[in-house]
Amino acid sequence: MPGLIECVPNFSEGRRGEVVEEIVRAVGQIEGVTVLDHTRDETHNRSVVTFAGSAEPVVRAATAAVGRALELIDMEQHT
């Protein structure tokens, strides 16, 4: 039986809900991964996405999330 891995990345965006939803959507599109939770903190402008699955799909989901975040979050504009 393959192991289950949980991944809990934080992203430097918590004020623009549509950006967080795009990151969550990127994770959720990966077969074999389940999004367990996601939260936004507008005060600290951060979000956390929690997802789990077997190793290979979790790596693909993490890569997809980071890729989408790179497209949507401009750290030069981050406050």
Residue type for 45, please?
N
State the pTM of this model. Answer: 0.92
Which is nearest to 47 in space by CA: 26, 76, 30? 26
| Average pLDDT per block of 10 residues along the chain, 79 residues long | 89 96 98 98 97 98 98 83
Q: Supply 27's token pair.
A: 């994770």
Q: Please report the pLDDT score of residue 77 as a whole number.
A: 79
Q: Please report the pLDDT score of residue 1 as a whole number.
A: 47
Q: Please report the pLDDT score of residue 75 as a whole number.
A: 82
Q: Please report the pLDDT score of residue 31 as a whole number.
A: 98
Distances in Å between the Cα of 14 and the Cα atoms of 2, 20, 26, 30, 38 are 34, 7, 17, 23, 11
In the numeric block, the tokens 């949980």 are attached to 6
